[in-house]
Structure 1
Amino acid sequence: MNPIPRKVVIIGAGIAGLCAAVHARKCGYAVTVLEQHERPGGLATSWQRGAYTFEACLHWLLGSSPHDPLHALWREVFDIDRLHFVYPEEWMRVESEDGKRLSIYSNLDRLEAELLQHAPQDEAQIRQFLHAVRSLSHCPLPSLSGDWQDRLATGLQLLPRVPLLHSLSHITSEAYGKRFSDPLLRGFFGERENAQLAVIALAFALAWTSNRNAGYPTGGSQAVIGPIAQNLQQLGGVLRTCASVKQILVEDNTAVGVRLDDGERIDADWVVSAADGHTTVYDMLDGRYVGPRVEHVYRTYKPFPSFLQVSLGVARDLSQQCGYVMRLLDQPLTVDPQTALHQIAFRLFHYDPTFAPAGKTAVTCTLPTRNVEYWSELSEHEPQGYEAEKQRVADSVIAIFDEHMPGVRDAIEVVDVSTPATVVRCTRNWRGSMEGWLLTPQTGVRPLPSTLPGLRQFLMIGQWVMPGGGLPSGLITARRAVRRMCRQDGMAFVPDEHENSSNAAAGFPT
């Protein structure tokens, strides 16, 4: 007689929740995923307006190279090898309103030549930065297995790069950019709200791009989310949408299930939150399991800003343009009463034929802001004013885009604007954040604990326990959480079993 499988309830069907669910199901747990929105994905989402699809999340996927260890981890949750990846030669272009431009190439030798030709006065800083990027391109990811030999081997490989990793993780991109005198080079590193990440994030992005390990998957975020959700359901997992969790149930300091907004109780042996961190800690658990460390994090760490996204359906083939253009503005764009941007970026998705009909292009422009209250108040209490403000921002963005590409205004046939109020409504992310905790000199690169002090049978995963966010944070924290569950319950963690079998077949010690 088979034993009754242990039950896991996972709150949130974003990338972290879905990956955890697939791993838990493979390990023999009975899994139910509860998603408050009408479809899975969370922040990893896109939407359709007419004939156009507008992507709001995925610009590249780390682990696209079959030779990278992260690729093997993606394979554990879905068939990543079925994706088609795009690797642009010109990764980004920085432009000023006086017609000057700077191309950021994926090939580091070509990039170095371009930067030196454009700004010879910054030669020393250019060579120093490119040396750092080249060093990071050979930097292994921290070991993701539970094997101490692997962790030791990876640690030894990382040891020579520790000073570089430390220095780049303790300076913001904006501060690093001030080492350069050229305005376009400074613009590349960003300014103000766009550049509060530690510069190590930008350096790693260039390194991964140069290695062809950060390709864009055709179909965007849904090309990743869809197959993982389908895999979960084929494994027998339960995915419930429009199921909003109000409370995590606790008995004797042990998580025993959840209660939904409609009063339904769902019991579980484990509760895993892949939902918003602040909501989990302070609402679902009533702030009862905080402790000094957690309180310090939520009081002092800075989340990513929220954002507006102006999306344009352009009845024109823009494939001769760079797919990612950073525009430096002489006059700032006023987003809201507290936010004025001196640079904005356009993504021209001509490289994704699934996003627009032939001969047409989906274009997006993301505008960061921390003034979530302004947009939420307008949305809730002044709907006419809300629509008027959305139109004003859209008109400003279209005017800038038309300056970049004269005459394109007449080819725009779809305009869509999402705001921080949209982010809050669809994801309930704290402060409408686009990616959880900002990777800053304060946070460093180390993940936060997945447990809360004094609470058993409960784990947190995703972007609120790994600063920097992104899809890999969901994948990695989910995998670690399920391994921890298996270890505590005396169950085999299936990926480890497969790895050990492969090593034994190859004659390696296990």
Structure 2
Amino acid sequence: MKPASRKIVIIGGGVAGLCAGVYAQASGYQVEVLEQGSVPGGLATSWKRAGYTFETCLHWLVGSSPDGALGAQWREVCDLDKLTFVYPQEFQRLETEDGRALRIYSHVDQLEAEFLRESPRDAEEIRAFASAIRGLADFPMEALNEAWPRKGLALLRLIPKLPLLQHWASMSAAEYGKRFEHELIRRFIVDGATSGMSVIALVFMFAWMSRKNAGYPIGGSKAVVRLIVERFRALGGTLRLMAKADEILVENNVAVGVRLADGETIHADWVISAADGHATIYDLLGGKYRDEAIDQFYEKQQVFPSYLQVSIGVAQDLSAEPGLLSRCVTEPLRLDPETVLHDVPLRIFHYDPTFAPPGKTAVTAFLPTYNYAYWLDLERSDPKRYVAEKQRVAEAVIATLDRRMPGIRERIETIDVSTPASVVRFTGNWKGSMEGFLPTPGTDFGTRRQTLPGLGRFRMVGQWVQPGGGLPSGLMTARAAIRAICRDDHVPFVPKSASGVDQAA
């Protein structure tokens, strides 16, 4: 059977689902992507309020460099050259309310120099951290998802780096942060809700930024999603919105299609789930295709926290401020009964002119919490109190901003607050998580099993099969899944860039 006569149905129109759709359609399959929301993108989204755009996902895109292997993969699913990338010199600034500040630069050389200037007593640890960033700057993360023998060759090249990888992957951020005497350096590394994350994630982040391979695309996540959708539709793919999957249809332990919430049945030769991993396994498939390893992983592996986002439209040019300003507050912010925050991170989007009218600025505060159940229950059981709690949190953020920039309260034109309940309602992500599984010490950074035990002609893609999450996990797992499907169907997998140039598969 030729691939053109075979159909693939993909559940979820986020980045992973759309990338899988591009790869499958380019390989000759007929593809239908089902997205439950009114717009594609899933967690990769933003929204407009009173002339302002508020981003909730993308702060940098790994693979933005035109020279890297991951960048080449992005160019297989969209014309990345249509995007304009921004590379801020200062990644973040931490400030206390008594006037102390720590500048955190994007490039390792400036980062090291600033940290040494601020804390000579931490010189040994600072130099070791900078050395690790330089040592892993050319680490080919995308090679971990390649097929053999290419994966094997990549691993052979990585053998000299294995001791470095093992050392930094074995420590959590909380553990590593204790090594520093300087309070603000320690606070930056520990980073609250994600302190259980392996510190190697921080090393990689600075490695990518130092090589200008993690730029921010003007227009944010929707600009990236728009380009992938354009590519998918140009190849002949079908994207259906407001199409919520209710069940994955199975016959003789083979996935044969999807039943939608409205009762419509869609048959296919392959089913790919780019939806929430927990919902896929335990709801759409009724928990029939799992084993002890899967149950244990979902039961014990830590996920990224959920979050509240306070979004503020300010009638003021804030271009003199850092793009990310973390205020270490004297009076902690009680987010909910189980969550107290000592830092309020303010992302000031002056570097994206599409997010606000001239002379004005979109500002967001991203506030993590693991107490997602509180917000879900409150929204359902006491809507008035739910609104009041959102207003209380917004007021605390505005007060923090106003103490830093006196008088700015009077220039606020719009306020919007989303909660874990918003995340669950719009994306269905398990526990309202901002991504997927947290890459804790000992976690394999490569793609986990994309199949389920006993179920044929089925694949999973996205952040629930690759700890660490982010847009690159959607791209890489989608590529790996379609490559495996092509192999099973004896179909050539030769992806092409958006400009039509063949890429090595």
Smaller-chain TM-score bracket: over 0.9
Distance in structure 2 (CA, Å) of the matches to 1:114 and 1:135: 20
**Contact 1:324–1:348 (Cα < 8 Å) also in 2:** yes
Residue 446 of structure 2 is aligned to residue 446 of structure 1: yes
Distance in structure 2 (CA, Å) of the matches to 1:365 and 1:497: 37
Matched letter for residue 391 of structure 1: Q
Distance in structure 2 (CA, Å) of the matches to 1:394 and 1:117: 36
**Aligned residue number for residue 327 of structure 1:** 327
Report the Cα offset of residue 149 of structure 1. Answer: 5.2
**Contact 1:332–1:343 (Cα < 8 Å) also in 2:** yes
**Aligned residue number for residue 350 of structure 1:** 350
> Helix, strand or coil: the match of 2:309?
strand
**Aligned residue number for residue 197 of structure 1:** 197
**Aligned residue number for residue 173 of structure 1:** 173
Distance in structure 2 (CA, Å) of the matches to 1:9 and 1:148: 27
Distance in structure 2 (CA, Å) of the matches to 1:94 and 1:421: 29
**Aligned residue number for residue 36 of structure 2:** 36
Residue 86 of structure 2 is aligned to residue 120 of structure 1: no
Distance in structure 2 (CA, Å) of the matches to 1:191 and 1:35: 33
Residue 245 of structure 2 is aligned to residue 245 of structure 1: yes
**Aligned residue number for residue 80 of structure 2:** 80
**Aligned residue number for residue 216 of structure 1:** 216
**Quick check: 6-15 or 136-145, which moved more?**
136-145
**Within 5 Å, which residues of 2 pair with 1:417-496?**
417-495=417-495
Distance in structure 1 (CA, Å) of the matches to 2:3 and 2:300: 46
Distance in structure 2 (CA, Å) of the matches to 1:198 and 1:185: 17
**Contact 2:3–2:29 (Cα < 8 Å) also in 1:** no
Residue 364 of structure 2 is aligned to residue 392 of structure 1: no
Length-normalised TM-score, structure 1: 0.95
Matched letter for residue 268 of structure 1: A
Distance in structure 1 (CA, Å) of the matches to 2:92 and 2:159: 32
**Contact 2:334–2:340 (Cα < 8 Å) also in 1:** yes
> Helix, strand or coil: the match of 2:332?
strand
Distance in structure 2 (CA, Å) of the matches to 1:254 and 1:28: 22
Question: Once the two structures are aligned, what percentage of the paired residues are identical?
Answer: 54
Residue 8 of structure 2 is aligned to residue 8 of structure 1: yes
Report the Cα offset of residue 144 of structure 1. Answer: 6.5
Gaps of 5+ in 1: 505-509
**Contact 2:66–2:72 (Cα < 8 Å) also in 1:** yes
Report the Cα offset of residue 297 of structure 1. Answer: 0.8
**Within 5 Å, which residues of 2 pair with 1:102-181?**
102-143=102-143, 148=148, 150-181=150-181
Distance in structure 2 (CA, Å) of the matches to 1:494 and 1:204: 29
Matched letter for residue 197 of structure 1: M
Report the Cα offset of residue 107 of structure 1. Answer: 2.4
**Aligned residue number for residue 18 of structure 1:** 18
Distance in structure 1 (CA, Å) of the matches to 2:346 and 2:191: 16
> Helix, strand or coil: the match of 1:95?
strand
Report the Cα offset of residue 448 of structure 1. Answer: 1.1
**Aligned residue number for residue 408 of structure 2:** 408
For residues 146 and 425 of structure 1, do their structure 2 counterparts lie closer, same or farther at Cα, with a shift above 3 Å needed?
closer
> Helix, strand or coil: the match of 1:478?
helix
**Aligned residue number for residue 266 of structure 2:** 266
Matched letter for residue 259 of structure 1: R
**Quick check: 373-382 or 273-282, which moved more?**
373-382
Report the Cα offset of residue 69 of structure 1. Answer: 0.3
Report the Cα offset of residue 303 of structure 1. Answer: 1.1
Matched letter for residue 417 of structure 1: V
Distance in structure 2 (CA, Å) of the matches to 1:137 and 1:408: 40
Q: Deviations over 1:154-208 (max 9, x none)?
A: 2232111111111211211121111001111011113431322111111111111
**Contact 1:142–1:154 (Cα < 8 Å) also in 2:** no
**Aligned residue number for residue 507 of structure 1:** none
Report the Cα offset of residue 446 of structure 1. Answer: 2.8
Matched letter for residue 324 of structure 1: L
Report the Cα offset of residue 2 of structure 1. Answer: 7.7
Distance in structure 1 (CA, Å) of the matches to 2:4 and 2:152: 38
**Contact 2:174–2:196 (Cα < 8 Å) also in 1:** yes
Q: Deviations over 1:7-29 (max 9, x none)?
A: 10100000000000011011111
**Quick check: 95-104 or 373-382, which moved more?**
373-382
Distance in structure 2 (CA, Å) of the matches to 1:442 and 1:327: 32
For residues 502 and 42 of structure 1, do their structure 2 counterparts lie closer, same or farther at Cα, with a shift above 3 Å needed?
closer
For residues 309 and 215 of structure 1, do their structure 2 counterparts lie closer, same or farther at Cα, with a shift above 3 Å needed?
same
Distance in structure 1 (CA, Å) of the matches to 2:363 and 2:75: 30
**Contact 1:308–1:420 (Cα < 8 Å) also in 2:** yes
> Helix, strand or coil: the match of 1:350?
coil
**Contact 2:194–2:305 (Cα < 8 Å) also in 1:** no
Distance in structure 2 (CA, Å) of the matches to 1:67 and 1:503: 14
Q: How many equivalent residue pairs?
A: 503
**Contact 1:187–1:328 (Cα < 8 Å) also in 2:** no
**Contact 1:169–1:444 (Cα < 8 Å) also in 2:** no
For residues 145 and 94 of structure 1, do their structure 2 counterparts lie closer, same or farther at Cα, with a shift above 3 Å needed?
closer
Q: Deviations over 1:31-82 (max 9, x none)?
A: 1111111110000000000110000000000011111101110111100011
For residues 412 and 503 of structure 1, do their structure 2 counterparts lie closer, same or farther at Cα, with a shift above 3 Å needed?
closer
Matched letter for residue 7 of structure 1: K
Distance in structure 2 (CA, Å) of the matches to 1:424 and 1:170: 32
Distance in structure 2 (CA, Å) of the matches to 1:250 and 1:400: 53
Distance in structure 2 (CA, Å) of the matches to 1:427 and 1:476: 21
Report the Cα offset of residue 289 of structure 1. Answer: 0.6
**Within 5 Å, which residues of 2 pair with 1:361-400?**
361-400=361-400
**Aligned residue number for residue 96 of structure 2:** 96
**Quick check: 224-233 or 247-256, which moved more?**
224-233
**Contact 1:170–1:198 (Cα < 8 Å) also in 2:** yes
Matched letter for residue 60 of structure 1: W
Distance in structure 1 (CA, Å) of the matches to 2:497 and 2:385: 58
Distance in structure 1 (CA, Å) of the matches to 2:246 and 2:161: 45
Distance in structure 1 (CA, Å) of the matches to 2:151 and 2:422: 42
> Helix, strand or coil: the match of 1:92?
strand
**Contact 2:494–2:502 (Cα < 8 Å) also in 1:** no
> Helix, strand or coil: the match of 2:220?
coil
Report the Cα offset of residue 491 of structure 1. Answer: 0.9
> Helix, strand or coil: the match of 2:113?
helix
> Helix, strand or coil: the match of 2:239?
strand
**Aligned residue number for residue 339 of structure 1:** 339
**Two-structure CA RMSD over aligned residues (Å):** 1.9
**Contact 2:76–2:496 (Cα < 8 Å) also in 1:** no
Distance in structure 2 (CA, Å) of the matches to 1:3 and 1:191: 48
Report the Cα offset of residue 247 of structure 1. Answer: 0.4
Matched letter for residue 64 of structure 2: S
Distance in structure 1 (CA, Å) of the matches to 2:179 and 2:94: 18
Residue 57 of structure 2 is aligned to residue 57 of structure 1: yes
Matched letter for residue 469 of structure 1: G
